[in-house]
Structure 1
């Protein structure tokens, strides 16, 4: 498929270099568009250009992870060489892996071993390494410390406590004249981000993980239904009705403008909400997500993260692999951690004094990443996106008051049974 058939319809193309260089080749990389991702990707690309004499085209991918996946499937299925390096979600190797080259011939083992082993494991298929870890993620609770102090409240440790605390602060702020203030914002749109949020709710109540590591469907439980019904009670009360269409940046926009007490988001948001021009600078704290109640209750954070893979249709696989290795290397990850609060996939950097000076909250993140909750992409393989779509639709129906948690999870069980081998994968 030609560039004219794909890119003008789907991507905003941004040249990282100022002009094509006489020597070297041109490598195109698709980078995310959330927060500072695009700017930091361009900065790293410029460093590689200067180092190698090659040119990089940085392509802005859609903000929605679901839209990104659909677009990448279109490009790769066509065998297009338009994009050499793809920024991919940690759950995509099972879906897209057949289109990527093995990076082991291009990267030494010592470089591979410096990353979190569980991330490398998730990016591997057999003896092949299909992507290099770039930055990792786990869900976090952001809170307004100044408002907790104002109302003499504590950081909530359970979802019930969050519900009550958020309402108290919301009522107080609205009484003080801010009728646009809400207690809690999160990612409620029908897309992969809702899968991440809802998996945290359900797992925190001991309600299963959609599909267990043994291939058994685990989501249709009373605890899971209780978690979804509680989340549905937030919409239109402590969360705006519009949260049903929120992605990460929508939630951050409300919270950073000073119009929310709590926010569920990824660690990337910290560097932005605490930036010099942020209305809430110096007023924000970060904590583990609340837990549910009952047997099996715990704090649960979904493992996220983004990685760099090289298309097998690239005309310049050697240079593309070198760009991926450079951008995911220790020096570049350190620069990104300091400049943009991107969570490194290299454990040693969580103890680096320069990183900790710039991002003190990193000291609390390593443990969270070590124990983060994986989505069931490894066990469901190429069908993970279908599984996730069914799940987030069931959750969104519940949030939208189109059936309660028990009803929608019972239907989800039937749908997953049909998709799987009689209820097992």
Structure 2
């Protein structure tokens, strides 16, 4: 009875422990049998470790293989990304490609919050390059992958050649061996397999080759449009032409591996797929100099789903801590599966160095692909590799290919330092700026005072300041665009337009033919009125600082990308609409007052000039609206059109007002023209007034009591008053 009870209790204890254990589902992909075996082993090892240490955690590995997924390099990672975007918790952990670190980072746990600092500090260097994004450690490397140089032992020993450390050495050694072997009718031998097939592999090979041409170990990847890049890719083409051919250079992984096992290639650039490839040395890829090399860095990263429970996050962190422990990295990753570990301290362990080439790992200079620095890396990589392949296989000029690669990401700025057109326009704007200031002197020359009677000097100064501001609005567009520059362009332009319109509006208000208290108040409070209006406008514009402009990148396929200002929020749009509304009200008010004051003798000539200005401004506004609606794909054209509109404004407004009208002015001719306009207007008004009075007389005879007749009479009376004001040649009460 006691035995049965003990057995039953033990069964319940074990069963309860299994049921209560937290199950962590870890998803990973493999198309190789060796990695399937690796995943199975680390799963068993962790579950054994968890049981021995009473962790109550059970690791369940879900394998995505060629049998249940497509054989695309990014199919698994893309599927995981889609699930995480939907905040699914089907998988608690995943093993992913470092190329996806940036894309997956918002959906993965920051391991700094769950792993001890001393554990993370063991994984600096290459592990940090691929596992950290924006100071957030989202992936711990289960293992690392590098591209390396495979050198044929038999042939090097046969011809007493050393393993090359520079590309020049490899080219010379390869040419000598090929020449000697062909004397023996060995035409199947290939000097170098570069590994430049279509797809991501070419990106890996080309990027690391460029990296190998930097000046020193500490130097960054050379700029793609630099002389160094030209030197590097010219060497690559030379190597391909003299040691290989298009067909071999572009073969895929399976054929590449086959060539290595058959021994039909002297040198080969490939991933560290097997540390025991027969008859080949494995060393770092060559460089421009012996102390510099470059290998493409890859690996398998462990990440935790950010949407699972905190309890599961803690359990998953235990899994990562164990899989990146010294035991697993040493006994499993390095010893059993001959892979590279990111735990660098192991390469100082004599036991490890007895079964691993520690010097190889210490000397490799890995470079991660720029997937964490580019928004749409897949698109960039595709264009980059296509252009490199066009250069290698389709005779595309190198300079053209490198320029187009540079253009994929490069943002072109409208700068006088880089563009001749921008320089010319910059000089023109400065000349115009100076001309406006010099023209202001005409206001103070007695001979020309008669042409500027419409406004007082202080109002003319305000008008000129407005013109200067409008012209100055183009300067923020020179050089790199920023949110602050966009704001300055907006506030300078809107203030300038208001400074131009306000003096004219003010003068027309105080010149109203019918004497009224409002006009009289304005005469006495000129600066208060103008100051209040402009203060309100500047205050409204300044509110955009609370909802600033954004810089929108205009991406041009096979062209030059550029930036422009954009307001893409409701708050900023409302402010913009209010400011436009103020300008429209001022513009309409000015035109209405021009009509009402058209016959005032004291300003008749000036009104004619202002009408011409208003008409030209209407055309410029229409041109500006068309410009904003156009989808312009050339950055030079985009900014040149804007500056062109500003130059037209200067020519059609300020130049006409200050220069052209003075040159063309003929006092007698002007007076005659004014008199004809007045006579024509008087005749029209007389006929219209007589007709209206006749209608009023007839309607009053029919019925004086109906509502319709009253409204008609009121409208007629209003129209008569308007016509009376319009007809007035002098002020009246």
Query: Which category of TM-score, normalised to the shorter sequence, fits these structures?
Result: 0.7 to 0.9
Instruction: Select which of 343, 360, 369 maps to 1:375.
Output: 369
Note the C-alpha offset of 1:150: 0.9
The answer for the alignment partner of 1:343 in structure 2 is: 340
Contact 2:194 2:240 (8 Å CA) reproduced: no
User: Where in structure 2 are the equivalents of 1:3-402 lying within 5 Å?
Assistant: 24=21, 25=23, 27-33=25-31, 36-52=34-50, 53-60=58-65, 65-117=73-125, 119-120=127-128, 122-126=130-134, 128-173=136-181, 176=184, 179-206=187-214, 218-235=223-240, 238-239=243-244, 241-243=246-248, 245-248=250-253, 250-266=255-271, 268-273=272-277, 280=278, 283-292=279-288, 298-314=292-308, 316-335=312-331, 336-359=333-356, 361-368=357-364, 371-378=365-372, 380-402=373-395
The alpha-carbon distance between structure 1 residues 402 and 319, as it changes in their structure 2 partners (threshold 3 A), is farther
The alpha-carbon distance between structure 1 residues 179 and 157, as it changes in their structure 2 partners (threshold 3 A), is same
Distance 2:407 2:129 in 1: 31
1:64-83 Cα offsets, whole Å, 9 max, x none, are 64455444434433444444
Number of aligned pairs? 384
SS at match of 2:160: coil
The answer for the alignment partner of 2:396 in structure 1 is: 403
The alpha-carbon distance between structure 1 residues 299 and 334, as it changes in their structure 2 partners (threshold 3 A), is same
Q: What TM-score, normalized by structure 2, do the two folds share?
A: 0.47
Note the C-alpha offset of 1:409: 0.9
Distance 2:176 2:75 in 1: 37
Contact 2:39 2:61 (8 Å CA) reproduced: no
Distance 2:179 2:130 in 1: 44
Contact 1:95 1:384 (8 Å CA) reproduced: no
Distance 1:109 1:393 in 2: 42
1:234-288 Cα offsets, whole Å, 9 max, x none, are 447633534454455542332122121111123x334241xxxxxx2xx322333
SS at match of 2:267: strand
Note the C-alpha offset of 1:219: 0.4
Distance 1:35 1:399 in 2: 34
1:286-334 Cα offsets, whole Å, 9 max, x none, are 33322237xx994223333332112234575444433333222221111
Distance 1:153 1:354 in 2: 31
Contact 1:120 1:133 (8 Å CA) reproduced: no
Distance 1:244 1:285 in 2: 20
The answer for the alignment partner of 2:418 in structure 1 is: none
Note the C-alpha offset of 1:117: 4.5
The alpha-carbon distance between structure 1 residues 254 and 79, as it changes in their structure 2 partners (threshold 3 A), is farther
Distance 2:321 2:184 in 1: 52
1:361-405 Cα offsets, whole Å, 9 max, x none, are 12332242xx43343344x25334433333222212222225132
Distance 1:325 1:174 in 2: 55
Note the C-alpha offset of 1:148: 0.8
Distance 2:128 2:379 in 1: 24
The answer for the alignment partner of 2:409 in structure 1 is: 416
1:12-35 Cα offsets, whole Å, 9 max, x none, are xxxxxxxxx867425132144458
Instruction: Let me know the Cα RMSD of the aligned residues.
Output: 3.5
Contact 2:107 2:305 (8 Å CA) reproduced: yes
Contact 1:141 1:265 (8 Å CA) reproduced: yes
**Which sits farther off after the overlay, 231-240 or 132-141?**
231-240
SS at match of 2:243: coil
Note the C-alpha offset of 1:212: 6.4
Contact 1:204 1:299 (8 Å CA) reproduced: yes
SS at match of 1:110: helix
Higher helix share: 2
SS at match of 1:27: strand
The alpha-carbon distance between structure 1 residues 422 and 154, as it changes in their structure 2 partners (threshold 3 A), is farther
SS at match of 2:95: strand
Contact 1:338 1:354 (8 Å CA) reproduced: no
SS at match of 1:36: helix
The alpha-carbon distance between structure 1 residues 100 and 224, as it changes in their structure 2 partners (threshold 3 A), is same
Contact 1:350 1:362 (8 Å CA) reproduced: yes
Tell me: higher relative CO, structure 1 or 2? Use CA pairs within 8 A at least 6 residues apart: 1
Q: Which structure would you say has the larger Rg?
A: 2
Contact 2:26 2:59 (8 Å CA) reproduced: no
Note the C-alpha offset of 1:111: 1.5
Note the C-alpha offset of 1:351: 1.6
Distance 1:130 1:207 in 2: 32
The alpha-carbon distance between structure 1 residues 171 and 212, as it changes in their structure 2 partners (threshold 3 A), is closer
SS at match of 2:367: coil
Note the C-alpha offset of 1:155: 2.0
Distance 2:239 2:317 in 1: 45
The alpha-carbon distance between structure 1 residues 99 and 50, as it changes in their structure 2 partners (threshold 3 A), is same
SS at match of 1:373: strand
Note the C-alpha offset of 1:121: 5.9
Contact 1:64 1:191 (8 Å CA) reproduced: no
Note the C-alpha offset of 1:159: 1.8
Q: What TM-score, normalized by structure 1, do the two folds share?
A: 0.77
Distance 1:228 1:186 in 2: 12
SS at match of 2:94: strand
The alpha-carbon distance between structure 1 residues 34 and 207, as it changes in their structure 2 partners (threshold 3 A), is farther
